[in-house]
Amino acid sequence: MKKLSYGLAAAVLACSMLVQPISASAEEAYGKPDKVTKWVFQPCFDSSDAGWANGIVPWIKMVEEATEGTIKIELQPAGAITSGSEAFGATSAGMIDVYAGWATVYGGDMPEGMLAFGLAMGANNWRDAWAAMWGDPKYRIGDLVQAAANDRNLQWVGWTDQGPNAMFTNFPVNKMEDLAGKKMRAGGPHALFHEAMGGAPVAMGAGDIYTAIKLGTIDGTYWDTGGIDDMAFHEVIKYAIQPGWCPAQHQEIYVNLDKWKALNQWQRDRINEVFMSSYFETSRMHAEGVEEALEILKKAGGEVIYMSEDELKRMRAKAISDIWPKVAEKSDRNAKGVELWTQFLTDIGEL
């Protein structure tokens, strides 16, 4: 019998556990500073993505309020300063102050981001994900991601569960064999999954997906469920497959480490304190967006297919045997993270 989900019990651990504080100098008085720090925030996407209104905008508001106006954040869309694909590196270099994206450019720029994004057939919901990443000191997988970010001159400061990352197709998928031979837009972690299922992953920019599906160049795409209406995919696809290959896809927010260190300890503490509260609030918002997006698809004549429990078990077994080792081999920290994820899911009765 499965154990109950960790739920809020794991989330109540003090958020001060999230990161180790940077010690203030003896001369620095602890408290609200007199000056205002201004940051420029450019994610790897624009306002058409569900992560904009339901992820980064609420985070910005909470940070500005928590720091009592001593931090002001200017939000710009991808392309305003640099391209979406270059934004992660630009933040590391200091050209941009704050960045948001997935698996840190799908694992190419920082493989450990895949631990935060979500493993194939991994955590089923945001509460379990929080417990494994931050809430339960037995696992603390987030520390591995934070260490990798620090190595790249970044500080991980925000996180949100965007709901299921699923298949949106013009063919029905009731079992994993139905994906064999199908051309799907997929990058990084999606591509690992689709290839393991026998499919043909196709790399392309987000702006090209709609047209490629409409023209039949690809058979569908992998995407966060709450974002299918934002991208108007409901106009060109027939099926949404739930709960998808990653039931709890996540997006991360990073700030340039030099800019982080330039804050005083009081400001850093205030931002750390909203890491958890912003996570649960934005994850709830995304969950509402998932239901709304699926209703829009159904009203457009599409169908939502919910895979059976038996099939989900088969897919999870396939993911563990064929996909998780490929994530683990990308770095020593990834290997440790996959080990901890496996232990966590075993402990809560999912494996």
In Å, how far are 6, 208, 242, 260 from 225, measured between CA atoms? 24, 18, 9, 33
Count of CB atoms situated within 10 Å of the CB of 5: 17
Instruction: Answer yes or no: CATH 3.40.50.300 is held by domain 165-247+300-347.
Output: no
Domain-wise residue ranges, the chain:
37-162+250-291, 165-247+300-347
Percent of the chain with pLDDT over 70: 92
Average pLDDT over residues 274-280: 98
pLDDT tens track for 72-115: 999 999 999 999 999 999 999 999 999 999 999 888 999 999 99
Q: Would you state the structure tokens that stand for residue 130, as one six-digit string?
A: 């929080």
pTM of the model: 0.91
Same fold, 37-162+250-291 and 165-247+300-347: yes
Fold category of 37-162+250-291 in CATH: D-Maltodextrin-Binding Protein; domain 2 (3.40.190)
329 or 8: which carries more pLDDT confidence?
Answer: 329
Angle between helices 57-66 and 265-299 (to 10 degrees): 150
Q: Would you state the structure tokens that stand for residue 312, as one six-digit string?
A: 């989900």
Which distant-in-sequence residues (6+ apart) come within 8 Å of 5 by Cβ? Answer: 124, 125, 127, 128, 348
Above 50 in pLDDT, residue 259?
yes
pLDDT of residue 22: 53
The sign of the dihedral angle between the CA atoms of 342, 88, 44, 42 is: positive
Query: How many residues are there in the chain?
Result: 351
pLDDT tens track for 150-207: 999 999 999 999 999 999 999 999 999 999 999 999 999 999 999 999 999 999 988 8
